[in-house]
Structure 1
């Protein structure tokens, strides 16, 4: 499966215990998302477009209206992140 660099970054944060909070519009559609790391920091790479791609590929899921977390398929798809800083 082809996963872009920004999608890979978001999946990596989610795999380490992060979550995605969403805000819905009046018509019920998701209009804004914020990705939080397990430490509470906000990831700037998580845009609505990236979130929609992850949802479409079933790499993130929400259960019982809770924040979105990484799915089992997402855990298998995330690659190890090299420490090239």
Structure 2
């Protein structure tokens, strides 16, 4: 599966325990997403387009209106990389 570099970064953060919170418009569509690391820091590299792409590929999922988290497919699809902080 082809995963862009930006999608890999977001998936890696989610694999380490992060989550994606979202806000919806009145029409029900997602208008804003915020990606949080497990420490609670905001990752600015997650856009609505990246979110929609990950969701379409079924690499992230939400249960019972909770924040989006990585799926098993997403965890196996992400390439291992060093966190350079």
If the length of structure 1 is used for normalisation, what is the TM-score?
0.95
What are the Cα deviations for residues 2-56 of structure 1, in whole angstroms up to 9, with x where unaligned?
0000000000000000000000000111100000000011111100000000000
If the length of structure 2 is used for normalisation, what is the TM-score?
0.95
Q: Which runs of 5+ in 2 are unaligned?
A: none
The number of equivalent residue pairs is 85
Instruction: Report what 1:17 is aligned to.
Output: 17
CA RMSD of the aligned region, Å?
Answer: 1.3
Tell me the distance in 2 between the aligned counterparts of 1:83 and 1:36: 15
Q: Secondary structure at the match of 1:58?
A: coil
Q: Which runs of 5+ in 1 are unaligned?
A: none
2:58 maps to 1:58: yes
Q: CA deviation at 1:84?
A: 6.8
Structure 1 residue runs of 4 or more that deviate by more than 6 Å after TM superposition: none
Q: CA deviation at 1:82?
A: 3.7
